[in-house]
Structure 1
């Protein structure tokens, strides 16, 4: 063993650059693999810890307006599958009436409700994940606003409506298991019972949340059907635990998935490099290997001799990667920890990445063993003769007249003859370019207002929500009257939402949320089929189509007001709102069954959207008016922030790898072509000529790789991104590209890095001389 270790140490010294480059590849692969799994472990641990302490409801029905308390109590008493039930009073306050640090929250688009601490379940927690307690005059602020508006404990928040004013001291930052994520459109502020009753006399509108816990094994569909069939209060949205989990998975899990995808790219690049280097090393030592076989050294001992170097590297890289993944994973887990806490299963953040590192190490060691084993299958005579090195590489013809572009001709000719040797570096450059573009395109897509189309709505400038009010119809008419007379409005359309029943694949009747309106004004991209145009057409969201077992062209039976109606499934679209389960159809809902209206509009070109929205809010104070760009940004703010970080890290890593790859392959190329380079110098080529030829070869490979990487990012990248979003109802997505960055700036930076690396890395060419070859 000591002899083997000495041989490995000498090999490390002899090939420092190549060994270092390979080690960096393996270390980065290990860091991203362990880091991504650590982020995943922390996320699962944090969510489990939050849910364990907060005990979130499994079904919530929201309602605005009066209700029969006795009817609700009787319903709860009659359902033996209920574990517990709770009615939460929430006082909805206009954003403009909340003042923090001297500014109102009018530009914050989330709905805000004041609540007291719950009993039995659905607790609001403090930053220690203990049940939050506030006294009179104190308020607990959701962590979303603490982060977004830089609100700290001790700050003052003022509620003001006309002459009435109530000051609160921020006593704690609260975590909310149901409304934590930015994807949740409502946020709860915690105050005392006395303060809530006082504030309710001067402002706000009561909203009620009917919350339920179910006994194990009971489906929420059973409760939902029974609840609505009983005619209980339902003037609002219904949300299930599955939707809460889906929202959290998207908010906190997307970054972990992106990191894991990057780690798989790095692992692929590492294995390609490893395979190339092992083959190159073994090819140079064919004669020595043949001699060892000739004198009777067993093949397994020869394999051990050559594999021990790579085993040491892999084990070392795994250890470094595991340790480095701790701060790396913690950095990208900061958001989920702030929102959810440290968690109750902290072993997951240590064991999960360790398992990943072990599997990665075993895979790489196995690949090394297979490559070496395959090489040693050659006979002793083949190895000693070095038949692999004697194969003709081919030839190329130089231009006959004056060799005007001799460096270009030489470089292209050598590329033609040695193309097999360049396949590996080409593939690695492809993955390197892909590594930059994939997170960039994902981030650009999420930031773009067109992402609204994956929320089940067409792209528009402004959205007006008229929700759950006793004066619903009056508010709608007021909004339409204003829009009709506003010369700055280019176009608008009104949608209404209601519920019908349909039968799922298990034969159960369940309620389906249906939107009725002109779907041609702000069209969606449909996965299959088209938008409803006929009276009996119905389009389903992707997850609804799966749940109901329907495809385009199928007939679907729905029940509305006790009557059966048959519709034709005309299209399937993508939607991540309301758990991804919605539908669109021209159903003439009775006024009492309409839960709310949504109006989408476009302003005329040149009109400032923010200023016009401010004006509209003064005219329509009872409607929620939202600029769609701001809606996307605020809804996805936590995801966007993390994606920005991932994009930056991926770009830096990719450029660093490009440098390492270029240096490593330059070393291998110059070592293999030492005699050819010396011969070129002997017949009159200058050092600069040879540097240019090497540079052209690498740049041609890089340009082709960038083109391939860009195509790959635009095709495979879309498949990968859609796969990540499939759980929330998006199975096909069009990545939105920033052309300036993707097609100009990024390629220019990559090419510039290669040029500089070639200039620095080929300086040793000046020491090559033909006499060294003659002496050898």
Structure 2
């Protein structure tokens, strides 16, 4: 054992740079793998814990159209065993909130008449401010999704448009509103005192709408409850119904994307680490062939020599894995706190759980590394002491070298026509095949990471250029109706048509379509009967083509009996182009032909589009305008807001998209930047180490080159340009992977969210610069490693 320990420590001291590099690779592999698993697991655990703590709903009913009796529905659900139903939560919808004199864009408000707590489900968690039974008169509670995104604090004042009245209320608390306060939300529940609600909102046209939450003791039985409920009603439920999957999905989407990228790159990193370990062990065996032969001649068995390598890499792995696990939890906390900041309170930080998972990941990494070490170290078994001492290698390898040397002499004339520097560079690459493959792989992976990060962040930040492929319109300016009772729509349309800068105007509103259970083909319950589903409908008055709404197959509806459906509706119902769908809309049955199928990140593609002819009377929410010159957008927005400020809010499309997806870009920038820097650093270190090892082996030829007149810098430049050429090939492959392979893998993740064709926006200037950066890092690593050539003495090398 003393001999094994002595040899192990000697190997650690002798190869400091290589050992340090391998330890760094193992650390980074552990960091990436453990971070990805921790981020995904903790995101779901955090949501589930809060969902359990707040008695979160599994489904929410939104009763807006008066097609059912709200109290009758509430009483039925309250009477069911195994179900917890909330009280009816009355509200009035508003559009338009002003903070510090500026209107917050793209924000729909549900002004809630706060009942006595507890509500029954979806209890509020106070993130900031003093917890009270009810909001005080003149005060409101607002959700973290509205407050954190717009930097609103307790004590600030907000202005709301309530008909002709400008309502000013002070924020007394910021609350976590779990079902409707998630990331990318454009809705917010504003909780008012009953007195303020009646005084300011009771006189508005129309009647109250209601939310009601439903929580099942056994969620797997929810379909059976719904069958009994619709049998009780005698008709399908005609109002909006939000499922648990819809309520929870967008809490996880960003962390799933980050986790996917990190886990994929972590696997790549550990493969690079294993390749490097194998390369290092093989190189160590070859360079110490004679020494190993001497050890064997002195009685040291092959098994003990293998144990020497296992012990060496066990120590390296433990030194690297332990900090990797610790740092991964710190990085996980940063990512989770940024992406799930809406679930954080002022008193507590977001906890990071699952320490057992981290330990398991570390143990798994150690096991894989030791298995790799055992496989490569087993190459010492065939070593024969006499051959090792005499030849420094096996006799067969020695004979092979002599034969190759004779062949190389015959082939040397082929290089006589090439410049000397080119021959030196090619020789450096071709004589070090494993090292060259490793450097090629590193440059490919590094470029792919950098390019994919740029493409992903850029595609989200530049979403206005691919908006129709995300399920949005491509209109230049959108008019949001915030006070329909005071809007003179005819006068507004006359003014718009009289403006030569405006090409067209189309209106859109929303409705609910219900697929009756007896028409379902692919959604059956556990009892064997089909369950009806509720589909949000975009109802368009005008041309969907002019609005810029796009389909991945087929076309937009043009006639009253046509419909375009989201990809997940198509999957769930088993409907394709030309198929017939029957829907209840406003209590009436309609039959539609599917003319288009589209993808949309909103509602996870569980939605559809129809023309305004299918509803009794369209109450439009938005108007969509296209301009002759998009540069006129600011002037037109300002003009419309000045003229119709009491009834509409005009905004640019870019403003609307930024209000939703700017936070996605911000969340992605930090982890993608960290990954890019990590891979650049690893690429530089490995290329530096690999080149340094190979250059030291080739000191005699380089000395000979110097003796015949080549300068050190000429030789260094030739070697470096060889690596640059190799990395150029790797960068080209990396670009292909970054814009094709990695996005293709990401599509598999986003498919469940309704995106089957990932809309990418290519910034070729940025892609080229990042590829150039990867090549520069490789060349720089080789140039610095080649400094040893400066210290060579031709006289000594030739004499040897």
* Same fold, TM-score > 0.5, yes or no: yes
User: What CA deviation, in whole Å up to 9, does each residue of 1:457-491 have, x standing for no partner?
Assistant: 34332344569x9879x877666555433322223
Q: CA 1:500–1:140 in 2, change beyond 3 Å: closer, same or farther?
A: closer
Q: CA deviation at 1:227?
A: 9.7
How far the C-alpha of 1:268 sits from its partner, in A, is 2.9
SS in structure 2 opposite 1:361?
helix
**Tell me, what secondary structure is at the counterpart of 1:460?**
coil
More moved, 79-88 vs 315-324: 79-88
Aligned residues: 765
- Aligned ranges for residues 584-595 of structure 1 at < 5 Å? 584=609, 588-591=613-616
**Alignment match, 1:487:** 500
Checking the alignment, whether the CA contact within 8 Å between 2:63 and 2:210 is kept in structure 1 is yes
Partner of 1:503: 520
Q: 1:623-671 deviations in whole A, cap 9, x for unaligned?
A: 5644322222221233221111123212222221232122111112213
Partner of 2:682: 657
Uncovered stretches (5+) of structure 1, i.e. residues with no partner:
none
Are the structure 2 counterparts of residues 306 and 453 from structure 1 closer, same or farther at C-alpha, using a change threshold of 3 Å? same
Secondary structure of 1:141's partner? strand
Query: Deviations for 1:213-240, whole angstroms, at most 9, x for unmatched residues?
Result: 34523336964983996679967x4322
Counterparts of residues 330-729 of structure 1 (less than 5 Å): 330-336=333-339, 338-341=341-344, 348-373=353-378, 376=381, 385-386=393-394, 391=401, 392=404, 395=411, 397=413, 400=416, 405-416=419-430, 418-419=432-433, 421-448=435-462, 449-464=464-479, 480-495=493-508, 497-498=510-511, 499-501=513-515, 502-505=519-522, 506=524, 507-515=530-538, 517=540, 518-523=543-548, 526-531=551-556, 538-552=563-577, 555-560=579-584, 569-584=594-609, 588-591=613-616, 598-617=622-641, 618-619=643-644, 621-623=646-648, 625-729=650-754
Pair 1:320-2:323 in alignment? yes
Structure 1 residues 151 and 766, CA, compared in 2 at 3 Å: closer, same or farther? same
* 1:765 Cα deviation after fit: 0.9
Matched residue, 2:8: 8
Quote the residue 2:783 is aligned against: 759
Conserved? CA contact 2:478–2:651, under 8 Å: yes
The 3-state SS of whatever aligns with 2:582 is: strand
SS in 2 for 1:591: coil
Match of 1:49 in 2: 49
Alpha-carbon separation, structure 2, partners of 1:457 and 1:198: 37
CA distance in 1, matches of 2:130, 2:260: 30
Distance 2:544 2:225 in 1: 32
Query: Given that residues 424 and 715 in structure 2 are in contact (C-alpha distance below 8 angstroms), is that contact kept between their aligned partners in structure 1?
Result: no
Please tell me whether residue 184 in structure 1 is matched to residue 185 in structure 2: yes
Aligned partners of 1:139 and 1:189 also within 8 Å:
yes
* 1:278 has 2:281 as partner: yes
Identify the residue that residue 219 of structure 1 maps to in structure 2: 222
CA contact (8 A) 1:58 1:220 kept: no
Residues 62-77 of structure 1: pairs in structure 2 closer than 5 A: 62-64=62-64, 68-73=69-74, 75-76=76-77
Distance 1:368 1:480, change over 3 A: farther
1:267 alignment partner in structure 2: 270
Deviation at 1:713, TM superposition (A): 0.7
Equivalent-residue separation in structure 2 for 1:231 and 1:703 (angstroms): 66
Distance change in 2, residues 1:130/1:120 (3 Å): farther
Helix, strand or coil at the partner of 1:521: helix
How far apart are 1:558 and its partner, in Å? 1.8
Q: Give, in whole Å, the separation in 2 of the partners of 1:166 and 1:570.
A: 45
Q: Cα distance, 1:314 vs. partner? A: 1.4
Distance 1:664 1:19 in 2: 10
Residue 761 of structure 1, CA deviation: 2.4
- Rounded to whole Å, the distance in 1 between the matches of 2:222 and 2:532 is 12
Cα displacement (A) at 1:582: 1.9
Give the distance between the partners of 1:179 and 1:688, measured in 2 at CA. Answer: 65
Deviation at 1:710, TM superposition (A): 0.4
Whole-angstrom CA distance in 2 between matches of 1:648 and 1:24: 19
Conservation of the 8 A alpha-carbon contact between 2:306 and 2:380: no
Which range moves more in the overlay, 263-272 or 458-467? 458-467
Distance (whole Å) between structure 1 residues aligned to residue 79 and residue 478 of structure 2: 41
Instruction: Give 1:145-160 correspondences, 5 Å limit.
Output: 145-157=146-158
Query: Once the two structures are superposed, what CA deviation does each residue of 1:167-225 show, in whole Å capped at 9, x if it has no partner?
Result: 65443321110122232221123343334334336879854323333452333696498
**8 A Cα contact 2:461 2:665, kept in partner:** yes
* Contact 1:126/1:132 (<8 A) preserved: no
Structure 1 stretch 684-693 or stretch 564-573: which is displaced more?
A: 564-573
CA shift in 2, pair 1:397/1:226, >3 Å: farther
What is aligned with 1:28? 28
Please tell me whether the aligned partners of residues 140 and 171 of structure 2 are also in contact (alpha carbons under 8 angstroms): yes
Task: Summarize the Cα distance change of 1:281–1:130 in structure 2 as closer, same or farther, 3 Å threshold.
Answer: farther
Q: Which moved more, 1:148-157 or 1:668-677?
A: 148-157
C-alpha spacing 1:663/1:439, structure 2 compared with 1 (3 Å)? same
Q: Deviations over 1:258-303 (max 9, x none)?
A: 3333323322332232232222222222333345456664433221
Distance 1:197 1:53, change over 3 A: farther
Aligned equivalents of 2:362 and 2:128: distance in 1? 32
Q: Residues 413, 318 of structure 1: CA spacing in aligned structure 2 closer, same or farther, 3 A cutoff?
A: closer
Partners of 1:330 and 1:181 in 2: CA distance:
19
RMSD, aligned α-carbons = 3.8
In structure 2, relative to structure 1, the CA distance for the partners of 1:486 and 1:388 (3 Å cut) is farther
Q: 1:111 aligns with which of 109, 112, 127?
A: 109
3-state SS, counterpart of residue 188 of structure 1: strand
Alignment of 1:239 onto 2:219: no
Q: CA deviation at 1:691?
A: 0.5
- Alpha carbons of structure 1 residues 491 and 359: separation in structure 2 relative to 1, 3 Å: farther
Relative distance call for 1:696 and 1:37 in structure 2 (3 A) is same
Would the aligned equivalents of 2:441 and 2:730 in 1 still touch at CA under 8 Å?
yes
Question: For residue 288 of structure 1, what is the aligned residue in structure 2?
Answer: 291
Name which of structure 1's ranges 765-774 and 157-166 shifts more when overlaid on structure 2: 157-166
SS of residue paired to 1:459: coil
Q: CA deviation at 1:678?
A: 2.3
The 3-state SS of whatever aligns with 1:95 is strand
- C-alpha deviation, 1:775, in angstroms: 6.8
Query: Structure 1 residues 512 and 346 mapped into 2: Cα distance closer, same or farther (>3 Å)?
Result: same
Task: Point out where structure 2 has 5 or more consecutive residues left out of the alignment.
Answer: 525-529
How far off is 1:377 after superposition? 5.2
Cα distance in 2 for partners of 1:648, 1:46 equals 25
Distance 1:152 1:128 in 2: 8
Mapped partners of 2:499, 2:223: distance in 1: 45
Q: Give, in angstroms, the shift of residue 111 of structure 1.
A: 3.4
Cα displacement string for residues 309-349 of structure 1 (whole angstroms, at most 9, x for unaligned residues):
22211121110101112322221122255321389995734
> Matched residue of 2:127: which SS?
coil
Deviates more, 1:237-246 or 1:556-565: 556-565
Alpha carbons 2:514, 2:584 under 8 Å: kept: yes
Shift of 1:149: 2.7
Written as runs of structure 1 = structure 2, the 5 A alignment for 1:88-127 is 88-96=89-97, 98=98, 100=99, 102-107=100-105, 109-111=107-109, 113-116=111-114, 118=117, 119-127=119-127
**SS in structure 1 opposite 2:221?**
coil
- How far did 1:703 drift? 1.1
